[in-house]
Amino acid sequence: MSTSGVKTVTDRLHFGLLLAAVALAAFGTLMVWSATAGMLAHDAMFKRHLIGLALGLLPLVGLGMSDYQKWKNWAGPLMIALALLIVSPRIPGLGASAKGATSWLEVAGQRLFQPSEPAKLLFIVVMAAMIAEFSGRIDQSRDVLRVAGYIALPVVLILVQPDLGTGLVFVAIAMGMLLVGGLAPRYFAIAAVVGIVAIGLLLALPGPLEAYQKDRLLVFVDPSRDPKGAGYNLAQSKIAIGSGGVTGKGLGAGSQSNLNFIPERHTDFIFSVLGEQLGFVGAVILIGLFLALLAAALSISTSSRDLFGALIAAGLLAMWLFQIVENIGMTVGMMPITGIPLPFMSYGSSAMVTNLAGVGMLLSVWSRRYGT
């Protein structure tokens, strides 16, 4: 570190980021408490949520104190670790699958974590190391092909799990990083076309997706589709949020969320509980906090001392933005239903630890923004 480097602790910490993260974690804890209130395993689940928060502080502090520039040297091993994480649920004796797609790493019958969550962070680091090599300009078609290859490998691996939601998160992360990494605009247009064709094929061909998965994807376009399954869930979620009105029915008071109308109300559909209980005001507060988080990520990206750091921050920003938009969007019928948790809000320790680790990564980039 040069002499013009970091002087004080306050200078190293990004208070906007920390405040947003703390506020979001507190808000999330409140909502998990409320959403699990009627459940029989309430105490155990709430305890697990708090343990997840505490566990997340370790990577937050650890990554925050480490030098992100060193991560680049590990890109190769990290790539292998990423591939292993993604395929681990498929390894006999290690994997377990819940509700179709959510894959778990399991050892001796004991669920450890969802490997797709930390995989997102590994993907960001690996991609950042790779994109940074192009020094901010990717317009040769050979370079573009190479980049596409790097992205396609993990995405395809995760899609065959099948975990469509996480696959989309990976694509969103890649897009955000490529934007900062200098992919020529015409390639974004090509990517969009390829994406639309791919989705069209996925839906049209009988093989790759199960009928229920298609229902979940398409029900937001056509609510009458699968009225007893996904359509029912979506309708109930919309009624919950809409009936919250301006100020909501009060914490713990929603009839929709208390009468078990909303499936997965403590995980994927936690926003429906928030919308019903805290109303538009609660939603504005939450989105305001998310905006603060994303703004902090953007400011860190712009102040990074090098492209590698800027790309990491941009990747995290894209990851969170996509998950927020997809998750809230699905509860209000704007987006297809996929099993993507709402950052800092949904019950689930794997995601919580991953998000807090992401905050740590941002802190590392921020605290080393000085010097050459």
Partner 1 sequence: MTTFRQQLKGRFATLGLIVLVMLGGLLLRLWSMEVLSGASFAAQAEDNRIREVSIDAPRGRVLDAKGRPLVTNRPVMVVTLAPSILTREDSATVITRLSALIDVPVPDILKRLSSDKQERLKPRILRADVPMTTVSYLVEHAPEFPDVAVDAAAVREYPFGGLAAHVLGYAGEISEGQLQDENLADSRIGDIVGKAGIEAQYDKVLLGEKGYRRLEVDSKGRIRRVVAQGEPRAGKDIVLTIDADVQSVAEKALADALDEAHRQGYTKARAGAVVVLDIKTGAVVAMASAPSYDPTIFLGGIKDADWKRLTDKASEYPLNNRAVMAAYPPASTFKAVTGMAGLQDKVTSAGASYFCPGKWEGMGKQWAKWCWNHAGHGSISFTNGIIQSCDTVFYEIGQKFYERKKEELQSFARSIGLGSDTGIDLPGEVSGRVPDAAWKKLYNRNYPEYQQWLPGDTVNMAIGQGDLLLTPLQLASVYAAFGNGGKVMKPHVLQSVLGPDGKPTVEVSPVVAHDPKLLAGNLATLRRALVGATTSGTGRGAFSGFKIAVAGKTGTAQVKGKDDYAWFACYAPADAPRYAVSVVIEQGGHGGSVAGPAARQVLATLFSQPWHPVHTTDVSR
Rounded least distance, CB 208 to partner 1, Å: 26
Asked if 239 is part of the footprint of partner 1 (rule: CB under 8 A), the reply reads yes
Considering the rule CB under 8 A, would residue 355 count as an interface residue with partner 1?
no
Q: What angle do CA 331, 349, 66 make, to 5 degrees?
A: 115
- Single out the segment in contact with partner 1 by CB under 8 A; choices: 68-76, 88-96, 114-122, 324-332: 324-332
Kindly state the smallest distance separating residue 173's Cβ from partner 1, in Å.
Answer: 13
- Start-to-end C-alpha separation, the chain: 9
Q: Is 321 in the site for partner 1 (CB under 8 A)?
A: yes
Interface with partner 1, residue 279, by CB under 8 A: yes
Residue 45 binding partner 1, by CB under 8 A: yes
- Angle CA(38)–CA(41)–CA(43) in degrees, nearest 5? 90
Considering beta carbons, is residue 10 or 372 the nearer one to partner 1? 372
Least CB distance to partner 1 at residue 277 (A): 12
Is 197 among the residues that bind partner 1 (CB under 8 A)?
no
From the list 64, 154, 244, 341, which residue makes contact with partner 1 (rule: CB under 8 A)? 244
- 37 lines the binding site for partner 1 (CB under 8 A): no
d(CA 13, CA 9) in angstroms, rounded, equals 6
Whether 337 contacts 329, CB under 8 Å: no
Query: Which of 261, 269, 344, 347 is close enough to bind partner 1 by CB under 8 A?
Result: 261
Pattern 52-81, binding to partner 1, x per CB under 8 A?
------------------------------
Does 280 help bind partner 1 (rule: CB under 8 A)?
A: yes
Torsion sign, CA atoms 174, 175, 180, 184: positive
Which residue from 1, 9, 40, 205 is in contact with partner 1, where contact means CB under 8 A? 40
158 and 165 in contact (C-beta within 8 Å)?
A: no
Compute the chain's Rg from CA coordinates.
21
Burial of 224 (0-12, 13-18, 19+ CB in 10 A): exposed
* Neighbouring residues of 242: CB distance < 8 A, sequence distance ≥ 6: 275
Spell 264-285 as b/e; 16+ CB within 10 A means b. bbbbbbbbbbbbbbbbeebbee
Measured distance CA(169)–CA(211) in Å, rounded = 22
Q: How many chain residues interact with partner 1 (CB under 8 A)?
A: 57
Helical H runs in the chain? 9-12, 15-35, 42-65, 68-71, 75-87, 116-132, 141-159, 164-181, 185-204, 211-218, 230-243, 255-258, 270-303, 307-331, 349-367
Task: By CB under 8 A, tell whether 238 contacts partner 1.
Answer: yes
Among residues 159 and 322, whose Cβ is nearest to partner 1?
Answer: 322
287 binds partner 1 (CB under 8 A): yes
Q: Give the binding range for partner 1 (CB under 8 A) out of 74-82, 144-152, 235-243, 358-366.
A: 235-243
Residue 62 has a CB neighbour count (10 Å cut-off) of 12
Q: Which is nearer to partner 1, 89 or 254 (CB)?
A: 254
Q: Does 225 bind partner 1 (CB under 8 A)?
A: no
Q: Closest by alpha carbon to 333, among 258, 266, 240?
A: 240
DSSP string, 58-101: HHHHHHHHS-HHHHGGGHHHHHHHHHHHHHGGGSTTTEEEETTT
In the complex with partner 1, which residue's Cβ is closer, 321 or 353? 321
Task: Answer yes or no whether residue 336 interacts with partner 1 by CB under 8 A.
Answer: no
- Rule CB under 8 A: say whether 122 interacts with partner 1: no
Q: Considering beta carbons, is residue 126 or 324 the nearer one to partner 1?
A: 324
Q: For partner 1, which stretch binds (CB under 8 A), given 3-11, 17-25, 147-155, 173-181?
A: 173-181
Q: What is the DSSP letter of 183?
A: B
CA distance 259 to 275: 15
List of residues contacting partner 1 (CB under 8 A): 39-41, 43-45, 48, 136, 176, 179-180, 182, 228, 236, 238-246, 255-256, 259-261, 275-276, 279-280, 283-284, 287, 290-291, 294-295, 298, 301-303, 305-307, 310, 314, 317, 321, 324-325, 328-329, 332, 334, 372
